[in-house]
Structure 1
Amino acid sequence: MPTTPFVLLAAFFASKGSPAFASWLEGHPSFGPAIRDWRRNRVIPAKAKVLACSMMALSWGLLFFVGAAGMVLAISGVFLAGVASYLLTRPSY
Structure 2
Amino acid sequence: MTNPFYEDYKNEFQVPNFKSIKIDHYLPAFEEGIRAREKEIINISNNDKNPSFENTIAELEKSGELLTKVTAVFYNLLSADTNDDLDKLS
> Which TM-score band (shorter chain)?
0.3 to 0.5
- The TM-score normalised by the length of structure 1 is 0.46
More helix by share: 1
- The TM-score normalised by the length of structure 2 is 0.47
